[in-house]
Each structure stands twice: as C-alpha cells, then as structure tokens.
Structure 1
Amino acid sequence: MPPPDVNKTHEDAVGSLKNPLKFLDQDYQTLHQSLLSKKMQFSDESFPANRSSIGTGLLSDKVMAQVKWKRPSEIVLYRPCLVVDGVSRFDYAQGSKLGDCWFLASIGAVSSQMDIMDQVIPAEQSFSKGYAGIFHFMFWRFGKWIDVVIDDQLPTINNRLIFVSSKIATEFWPALLEKAYAKVCGSFADLHGGFVSEALIDFTGGVHMHFDIKEAPANLWNMMESAFKSKTLMGCSTPRGATFQNTVLPNGIVEGHAYTVTGVCQVTTKEPVRLVRMFNPWGKGEWTGDWSDRSPLWKTVSANDNKNCLSVADNGEFWMSMEDYTKSFKTMDICCLSPDFLNGSSKCSWSSQYHIGQWTTETAGGIRAIWKNPQFRVRIEKPGEDCAGGECPENILVSLMQNHENRRRKQLPHLFIGFFVYEIPPEASKN
C-alpha cells in the first residue's frame, strides 16, 4: 500500500498549543469576560457541583451526604491563591478518598519542568485580579491540545478537601488541576486507578516507553541517568499485594502504588553505588532500607555527595539503590518530548511523526489476517557517526495509543492491541 499522509501539527493549527481545542465547546476567554461584565461567579453546568461529578462507586451514600461543594474563599480564612512560591511536587498530598496516585505521580514528574507546567496551567489566572470563579487548564489528548474550563467549586467534608490538597492551606492549584482532569475523564471516580503513563502523555504529548523492570534491558540505569540529565519524565509502580490494597510493607514501600522517579546519581563508598530517587505522591511515607534518609550508609560517602543528594525530611522522597529499586518495583514509564537522550549525544536529534488509522469490522484482521489491519510505511535513515553507539542504535521508537469515543474513562473497554514491525526488502521498497 502507498505510504500514508504524515500528520504534523503546525504552531497555529487547531489543536496546537497556541490554538487548542475548546473542550465541550467552552471558550475560557469569552466566558471569563462575560462573567466579569455581569459581576458573576462561574458555575459549570457541564461538570456540576453535585453527585454526578464525583461519580459512582467512590463514596458511600453516608459519606456522599456529608459532601459540600465550596469555593476556596469559603474554605480558608485568608485570601486563597492559585500558586504560592512556585509549583513543586512537595506542595500537595493525595486525598484519602481517591486512588489517583498514578495521576499525582505524573504531576510530581511534570512539576519540576516549569516549561511544561506553564503550558498545563496557563498564566494570568488568580483569585484576585480578574477573579470570576473560573479557571482553565491544558491537556494533550490523542494528538491535540485541549483547553479545559472549570469552576472553582470543590468537594469538602467538614470544610476540608476530600481529594488532593495542598500542604499550604491557601494554595489551590493541585485541587483545581485534579478537578480539570476529572472533568476530561468523566468524573472523580473515573480517576480511581490508572497508569502513570496515561497522565504523563496527557501533560506533554510526549513519546511513551514502558518497561517491565524484571525484563528491562541491562542498561536500564544508564538509560534512566541519561533521561534524568535531559529532564525526561519518569514514573513507576509497585506490584499489587494479595489484598489489592495499598498496604505499606515493613520497608516503607506501598503495594500497588505509583511513584515518581525524581533523581538518578552515582555515589562512591568503597565502590561506586548507583542510586535512584523516588517520590511518593502521598506526600509522606518513605523507604526505610539502605540509602534511606537516615541510613548509616550516607556517612560512608564524600561530603560533596552527602550535600548534593541527602535531604532528611518526611516529604515522601527518598533514595534507594538500583538493586533495591529493581526488587521493589514492577513497571517503569519514561515519557519524553523527544527521545534524543537515548543516543547519549547532544549532536543527535530525532524527528517525529504520527499516523492515524482505525480498526473496523472490515479491517480488524488480528494475527490470522493481519494484512487487513492499517499499515504505515516508515523510512528509517541510517544514524550519522555522531549518533552511533547510543542506547537506541535501532533508530526507531514506536508508541501506540487507542482513542475511544466514550468520554467516561472507567467505562472504556480494555482492548488488547498491538503492532508488528516488518522490514521491507529493497526490491519491494519501490512498489
């Protein structure tokens, strides 16, 4: 078949960062100006402050009856703020009522990249100048950037937020960002359970790499080190326990839980030791084994390594050796705007493109009739001398995602999908 058209988003095209799609046809600027002129506060009918937005199966009827939706000015005594002293992974703590650690772990990764956070949280929003109870956030969904409008009414019990909250009482960016993502996914209940990779992609539009740690390549730590140096986002998850609960093990690791990889470094004691730094989106609860905050092993490293790496605080962040990391965690996700870091050379750069196809009754051939499936032809150029010998000498990275028509995330069927890569022989490449 002939090669398909390559889809590339131009800077000003609909669905680009400069011209995002308006989610549910809500235009933030138009709504904001209308509210200011009428001196009104926004109430979002498309994601109302009631039971439907929380969703089903998350809270019992008894707990739901206690929920009251309040604006930040009704929750705190002093003037609320969207952001206080910048955005940080240490700002927030996961709520006890919602299992969206996968989403919050991805925020932990993204919050250290201010260029990305500035895209996700558009500027010139506040609770003072131009305040009208309306905010908006940006997410990347299946090839397009979307602008999501919300009101600032948040679910509370006894005047406390029941989902994510900031450790600074007057700061509300975590709660509002979580609400905007819940709106995209259908409800707060639709955020209960997921994969770090989902949110990392939705925050960045980046290319996703997934590893089963037990089957990961031998050079995984080198890959992680290169990714960290290039400010690439990383997250990981622990295996589920027998009870499928977030049980805290004696070593401090939580079963069935998502974490953020926030650092990779090598220190020297009697011999070099490779370390990985992790962040628990609960905002507390840490590994207690070797290289934890109070481990005596830190006394064996140089003063410089100790100063650069160690921070003793119960903030959910900790170090552990690569060996303990591979024993404690099951899967790992890397999300990059460009996989340049795989080459280990600043002189190398990857080009990217995406193709859109679909499986229908006629085209979903499966393995037995794979020739019926959508096919895309890609020309792989030979790497130059500067790029040779990197972590990805094959020179191609394929990332596949599935777009559904149903907005409700929890109602989406878990379809098994995949792809095959075939080499086209030279004699057939001209056909």
Structure 2
Amino acid sequence: VPYMNCWTLIEARHGKDGFGTPENPERFLNQDYQQLKKYCLSQHLRYIDDMFPPDHQTIGEGILSPQDLARVTWLRPGKLVPDPSFVVDGISRFDFGQGMVGDCWFLASAGALTFQNYILGQVVPLEQRFDVDYCGLFHFRFWRFGQWVDVVIDDKLPTINGRLIFVHSKDPNEFWPALLEKAYAKVCGSYADMNAGTPAEALVDFTGGVHICINLSEPPPMLWDMICRAGQSKSLMGCGTPQGETSANTVLPNGLVQGHAYAVTGVKELIYQGQKVRLIRVWNPWGQGEWKGDWSDQSPLWQTVSPQDREMCLSVRNDGEFWLTLEDFLRFYSDLDICCLCPDFLDGGNSCHWKTSYYEGRWIAGTTAGGCINNPDSFWCNPQYRVKVEDLVGECAKTSGENNMLLSLMQKPDKRNRRLVKNLFIGFSIFKVSLFHRGKFPAAFFTTNRPVAQTKTFVNGREVMEFLNMTAGEYLIVPCTFNPNQTASFILTVLAKAETHVQNTFFIFTIIHSN
C-alpha cells in the first residue's frame, strides 16, 4: 500500500509494481495498443477488434428493435465523411448529443470532463489522428476498480442509413465522442450494458478520484460555498432529476427531463433588484432541451442584471445548457455528484490537506462474510480495519468542528457485462476502540458496543460513502454486506484531514502520510 497525500491519488490509486497508473495502464483484455498498431501499419491493415467485433452482440439486447438491428451497418469514419477528424476546433461539451442508448449518465460525465484538460488528456489521448499512421485503431483510458486500463477499439461504428445511431457529433467530421462511447461500451460489455446509470460511476472512472454524493433533499448548510469551491478546483460535477411516477425521459412542462442525468457546468452570483441571486448552470447531454423557468435563456430576468453579467452568462440557443437558481436546483434535482482528485476544496483553501489510504478486501461466504450488525453471531467475521485519528494541528485545527473524514466502500463486479452485475447491499459501521486491544475483535465486543458512526442505509449500488466528523482516537471500520454469507470483493478508501494510521486485523501495516 503506497504512501500518499490525496493529490497523488490519481497516480497511486492503485497501480501494482508500476502498472495500473494513468501513465502505465494495464492492457484491457490483454490487448497492447502499440503492438497492434505497429503490426497493422507494417502489414497495411485496417484493424478489426476480435474482442469487441462489429456485430449484434456488441450492440447488445433491448435498445434496438429486431428490424432496426437488421438494418445496422458498421462503417469507419472515412466511409461516413470524406475528411474525418478525431477533434475539430478543440473539445467541448457542445460537440455532441446523445443517441439511441440510454447513457445520459455517461455523456453528462463526458461533458463535465471537457472542463478539465489534465484529466481529459489522461482519458482521451489527443494525439490520435486519421491522417497520420492511421490503421483504424484507437485507444482510451479509464479507472476501473483499483487500476487504470488502456482500452483498444477499432473505429467501425454502428449506423443506419449512413447515420450514427448512438452518440453523434454536431460537426459530422468529428469522431472523438463516438469512439470514446464505443471504448466505454467495450468496458461495460456492450452498448446495451450502458443503458441506465448515475453520473458518479463514469465520473469516478474518468478520474480514479474521490466521489462525494450530496442528497439535495437534505443539503448541507454550506452547499453553495462547496459547489463554488468545487467549480474552482479540479472537480467534475453531475446531477440528476428524480424518476417521478411516469417513465424516464418524460419532458416536464418546465423543460426538465424526469430520471435524467445532467452535468453541472458553472456557478455565478448576480445582483438582482439589489439582492444577490445564486445561479447554477446545467447541461443536458441530449444537446438540446432546456429549463423554461426563471433565468432560463428566454427569461426576462436577464434584462434586470448588468450588461456585463448578461454578456458573460447568457447564451440564447437550444444547446441543452441553461441557468437556474440554487433554490430551483434543490427543488427539481435529487442529487449532486462531485468527483475530485482531492477534497481539499471542502476547506476553502490549501492550508489543510487531506490524506488518503486505499485497501482492497473480500467477503467470502462461510468465513469473512458476516452480514450486517443485525447478525450478532457472525458480524465479527467481517474484515476489520483499525484507524487511529490524531489531533488536528496548525491551520487544520481551526476547522475541528467540521467533517474530517470521508469513507468510501465500493464493490467490485465479478462479471464483465455491466447489466449482469448484481450489486449486493453494502455498508459499514465504525466503533470506538481501546488503544490497548490487539488482534481481531470478537463477537462479544459487538454485543456490548454500539457504532459511533455508520452508513445511513445499505445501498445496492456500486459505492456507498459517508462524510464524518471523527474526534481523535482509535476506531474500527467494519465493511459488510447486509446479508451474511455473500461473496464479493470491495475497495475501502479512507480520506482524513488529520494524521491517520490504519491497520488491517488480518495483516498489520501502518501508513504514514505527509503533506
């Protein structure tokens, strides 16, 4: 387990023996981009990916009718336009719009990705071309459950009547969005496996970073300041609307889409009638369809602010992007996801850095899968991690009344196809423990001690996280599934503002962090 502060998280999470980092990613499905390219160029071949071939299985089931599926033709960009380019006039969220697969969660995250050039360059190698050393071969990088992987694809894209059926660029000559989507579809198993999801999943896979989920029905008191600081840091933000009683993708009278993912692309505080109004800018990955309420593109309220603010903020075109007040944002959106390389922005400055520890573990039925605390005879069998939190010092001590620890528990899938993954209900409990106890805590400890903190609810999603205020002392973290005797692998990430030492009761080690 490496030493790290959280600014090195994107390189160190996790990377074994130098592999699995953005600079030296693992080869997905053991396909080597450089070797494949060298071979294709030497043999004057156009690459066809036998691990993700241009056929019906790659599209998957349920997103096209049998009639439409029979009409699909796989074409390379050079067969669609005479002069294809990977990128045309830079990369922007306005480059593309969603197609026939329900991956708004992925495309909203891709829109957010376009704001961070450093992160974008790690996911999308921008040196790729159609006019130099072209052989129909492209590659992209994603963080996947503990390591970065390099994903190879061919550039055959599914079309009907010569038109792309999935994500499409506004400029027909630009193909980075369609190729990025195809690479992620390969990671998920098929295009159909990208149907339905949350922005958090793709945001984490784009960064390998820290995910903070905010329930907007119970927002933290300093939410506005948090969003502003996140917008100024190396963070990606996505949000979603509630499902509602009707089917997803229903457009409401106010212009918003039910059960839909959006990207947060900006924040601005304006003076309106002598009062401050807080606005959030949101982008719809459909590339069209916008909010119709206050501060929308056509709202007369824009005529009441200064010409400078109006010039800076207002763009009257149906591009899917719009402004709305913080109050309307809280009213009509259900959750906000912030994914960052480091949560330092939560403190409003760089005086106190967070430190990160990262561990992989496994629940095994019959041995280390004790279920939740409602199972007193077996709960103690779960993996146990001891955490020693020391007093905050210096500038950090000035924020001692605030949350100082973020815990994330992510389960790792046992199947390649995303739609076949059956996530277990997972959570964790935290107990205050004695400094003098060594070894694994027995069942008797958990019958006489109650958790000092725990997940609010068990979630059958990829990740559950909690933001906590922990006083100095020694604690025991017990990650668990809700039911006992369920086998799965997991990743536990501990971020703390103070000096923190962690040891696993199965094999003991100590992490010393430095600023």
TM range (shorter): over 0.9
Q: Look up the match of 1:409.
A: 418
Matched, 1:285 2:294: no
Matched, 1:166 2:169: yes
Q: Look up the match of 1:335.
A: 339
Amino acid in the other structure paired with 2:414: E
Q: Look up the match of 1:318.
A: 322
Residue 364 of structure 1, aligned match among 365, 369, 380:
369
Mapping of residues 153-302 of structure 1, within 5 Å: 153-269=156-272, 270-302=274-306
| Secondary structure, counterpart of 2:411 in structure 1 | coil
Q: Look up the match of 2:153.
A: 150
| Secondary structure, counterpart of 2:368 in structure 1 | coil
Amino acid in the other structure paired with 1:253: L
Matched, 1:132 2:127: no
Amino acid in the other structure paired with 2:73: K
* RMSD across aligned positions (CA): 2.0
State the Cα deviation string for residues 70-96 of structure 1 (Å, max 9, x = none).
0000011x210001111110100000x
Residue 379 of structure 1, aligned match among 376, 381, 388:
388
| Secondary structure, counterpart of 1:379 in structure 2 | strand
Distance 2:362 2:159 in 1: 42
Distance 1:341 1:397 in 2: 13
| Secondary structure, counterpart of 1:421 in structure 2 | strand
| Secondary structure, counterpart of 1:40 in structure 2 | coil
| Secondary structure, counterpart of 2:331 in structure 1 | helix
Q: Look up the match of 1:80.
A: 84
Shift of residue 392, structure 1, vs aligned partner: 8.2
Distance 1:176 1:215 in 2: 38
Shift of residue 6, structure 1, vs aligned partner: 7.4
State the Cα deviation string for residues 292-322 of structure 1 (Å, max 9, x = none).
1121111222223222222222111110001
Q: 1:24 to 1:426 in 2, by over 3 A?
A: same
Distance 1:389 1:286 in 2: 42
Q: Look up the match of 2:101.
A: 98
Residue 398 of structure 1, aligned match among 398, 403, 407:
407
TM-score (norm 1): 0.95
Report the more deviating stretch, 212-221 or 277-286: 212-221
Distance 1:13 1:382 in 2: 34
Shift of residue 145, structure 1, vs aligned partner: 0.4
Aligned length: 426
Mapping of residues 28-67 of structure 1, within 5 Å: 28-67=33-72
**Is the CA contact (8 Å cut-off) linking 1:380 and 1:395 kept in structure 2?**
no
Q: 1:203 to 1:392 in 2, by over 3 A?
A: farther
Q: Look up the match of 1:355.
A: 359
Q: Look up the match of 2:471.
A: none
Q: Look up the match of 2:7.
A: none
**Is the CA contact (8 Å cut-off) linking 2:15 and 2:146 kept in structure 1?**
no
Shift of residue 405, structure 1, vs aligned partner: 1.9
**Is the CA contact (8 Å cut-off) linking 1:347 and 1:387 kept in structure 2?**
yes
Report the more deviating stretch, 295-304 or 43-52: 295-304
Distance 2:290 2:2 in 1: 49
Distance 1:422 1:274 in 2: 40
| Secondary structure, counterpart of 1:183 in structure 2 | helix
Distance 2:229 2:16 in 1: 29
Report the more deviating stretch, 50-59 or 378-387: 378-387
Matched, 1:89 2:93: yes
Shift of residue 378, structure 1, vs aligned partner: 2.5
**Is the CA contact (8 Å cut-off) linking 2:15 and 2:147 kept in structure 1?**
no
Distance 2:399 2:213 in 1: 19
**Which protein has the bigger strand share?**
2
Distance 1:331 1:167 in 2: 29
Distance 1:298 1:391 in 2: 41
Shift of residue 348, structure 1, vs aligned partner: 2.3
Distance 1:204 1:10 in 2: 14
**Is the CA contact (8 Å cut-off) linking 1:165 and 1:175 kept in structure 2?**
yes
Matched, 1:306 2:315: no
Q: 1:388 to 1:310 in 2, by over 3 A?
A: farther
TM-score (norm 2): 0.80
Amino acid in the other structure paired with 1:36: L
Shift of residue 370, structure 1, vs aligned partner: 2.5
Shift of residue 330, structure 1, vs aligned partner: 0.9
**Is the CA contact (8 Å cut-off) linking 1:105 and 1:281 kept in structure 2?**
yes
Q: 1:185 to 1:84 in 2, by over 3 A?
A: same
**Is the CA contact (8 Å cut-off) linking 2:411 and 2:423 kept in structure 1?**
no
Shift of residue 408, structure 1, vs aligned partner: 0.3
| Secondary structure, counterpart of 2:429 in structure 1 | coil
Amino acid in the other structure paired with 2:412: N
Report the more deviating stretch, 213-222 or 399-408: 213-222
Matched, 1:23 2:28: yes
Amino acid in the other structure paired with 1:263: G
Amino acid in the other structure paired with 1:235: G
